[in-house]
Amino acid sequence: MAAKTPVDELKTLSVKNSDRVSGPASASAVANGTANGHAAEHSSKESDDDADEHVLEATAAAAADGGSAKKKKNRKRKPKNKKKVPTVQTEPPSVLISQLFPNNNYPKGEEVEYKDDNRYRTTDEEKRHLDKINSNFLSDYRQAAETHRQVRQWAQKTIKPGQTLIEIANSIEDSTRRLVGHDGLSEGDSILAGMGFPTGLNLDNIVAHYSPNAGCKSVLQQNNVIKVDIGVHINGRIVDSAFTMAFDPMYDNLLAAVKDATNTGVREAGIDVRVGELGGYIQEAMESYECEINGTTYPIKPIRNLAGHNILPYSIHGTKSVPLFKTDDPTKMEEGDVFAIETFGSTGNGLCVDQGEVSHYALRSDAPKVDLHLSSARSLLRTIKDNFGTIPFCRRYLDRIGQEKYLLALNNLVKSGIVEDYPPMVEKRGSYTAQFEHKAGNTAELQRLTDLHAAFNGALDGKLILASIDLQEPGKRILESGTADGLWLRDVCSSLSAPRHYFGSGIEPELFPAQSDGITYFKQSFNDPWPGDLRNSIDLVHHRGSLAGASPNEPLDVVKNLATLVKPGGWIQLQEMNGFKPPRNGP
């Protein structure tokens, strides 16, 4: 959720696993889509069920008068089926995070080093011990962050034009509730864990606080810029992270501007940093971009009446704010603060106003004592307290717990100052806006990918391209599937002098570099059909280290799909680790 300055919307941590690379690397070049080398291997094996032996019982019984023995019929006992504990996430996500990470051993995410006078917090043994004692609350944050990461990644893969906003919101929220193990249908369940606030689905000039109400018919279009804002909480520890998606590359610089600004804010944040100065760093980063849309160039402006902020337990908006421009605010970030560093950029005026149908509401923690005359308002207030507490909710959440005809009562609670409403925040008509979060944990994942890149380079003596292709010929088209931060592509680009076209695809746009450096990055799963303008046009397709993640498809299906990209005489280059048993249908 976003709010006006000084109290605003939040973005927080999200976490990524850092899987170690093991086993020697092998590389294979495949001509015209026909593989001749090893395919990806699955990194873990399913444990076999314990086989219960069938037990045969035979007993002899003496006859009452003849003493002859009769044997009872042998009876087979049904084997006990031992239920497997899931070790990987499903699609859509449905496995409890607590099952994937037993004993509360959740990924830590990114740990930023202290600077200057705060370095003693790392080097002083006593201080490190005290920090460890007081860090139990991080377990809740880490569980919420891992839930958010897995839902977010799935959403980024599946959100496509043609879906209704209701479908998108419900799928995100249902997945989140499944992963934390709280469906929110019983009284008080949503207060234990679940949605940190209603899912925001903000199109184009709508900046924040729009979530579809029941009956919404809005459909995501190819030319929309959509900001997806998701909140998850465990025991009131709220994690919020947003990302922006666009399906037309002309908006790329708008998205890059807010990403750079947010990452700058996270990098410069820390204990004793003054928030007014931090806003200056954010402003400088964002205003260094401009975006050409339909032939007109727009400077990217920070939205000045929105800000980041600190987060308190069960309270998404704390008492401190992080502006998106330089101010004289001397407020310092202090030890123990939890901040949401988020930025909003716009091609419009850099200001937004409240406008449109309200969906977001929250019970005020400082609500006045008011004598409510409407019995329906008193009843609804009890429902809100019992089901949400001060966690923000929306009208769809009231619908799903069986509330009906509640708008009059809800409006009465808002007018009485007991419940706060959050109308959609809108920039000027015709403008485009973007929002981005810092994805804590990216550092660990990017380091893993860097290590993998180094492992392949070492195994291949630094040779980036094994395919027999004339690299000196200008105009060659090179595409990397699963590019992540484009490290391989950037190395290829810097090593070749002849002009050529570079494309990088992946399912996590937040990993793409802020500066494209002549490379066209776009969101694409290797399981999905490739865009028509790329088919039969690529001279070299490079793919490595991820065929094992082809599920629910098989690796061979992925390779066949990659082959649709290759022009006659072109190449597919697959690079995978061979430390595991090859899949049965691998190339």
Residue in 260, 342, 480, 539 annotated catalytic: 342
Show the tokens assigned to 569. Answer: 């005489």
Of 529, 520, 518, 522, the C-alpha closest to 565 is: 529
What's the CA gap between 441 and 196, in Å, rounded?
20
**Residue 229: active-site member:** yes
72: its two tokens: 């009872």
Cβ neighbours of 569 (radius 10 Å): 9
Q: How many residues are recorded in the chain?
A: 587
Torsion of CA 305, 307, 311, 315, to 10 degrees: 20
Type of residue at 344: F
Verify whether residue 342 is a known catalytic residue: yes
Q: Is 215 left (phi over 0), alpha (psi -120 to 50) or beta?
A: left
Candidates 38, 148, 233, 309; catalytic one: 309
Catalytic residue from among 229, 427, 445, 480: 229
What residues have CB less than 8 Å from 163, skipping those under 6 apart? 219, 220
Known catalytic membership, residue 233: no
Q: Is 109 left (phi over 0), alpha (psi -120 to 50) or beta?
A: left
Q: Does the annotation count 309 as an active-site position?
A: yes
Choosing from 317, 438, 542, 543, which is the catalytic residue?
Answer: 317
Query: What is the C-alpha separation between 248 and 522, in angstroms, rounded?
Result: 9
Instruction: Report how far residue 67's alpha carbon sits from residue 61's, in angstroms, rounded to the nearest whole number.
Output: 8
CA distance 13 to 442: 10
Rounded to whole angstroms, how far apart are CA atoms 224 and 314? 33
**Maximum Cα–Cα distance for the chain, whole Å?**
108
The residue annotated as part of the active site, out of 41, 204, 240, 576, is: 240
Distance between CA 286 and CA 383 in Å, rounded? 43
335 is an active site residue? no
CB atoms within 10 A of CB 516: 16
Active-site hit among 437, 445, 480, 576: 437
Name the residues annotated as catalytic: 229, 240, 309, 317, 342, 437
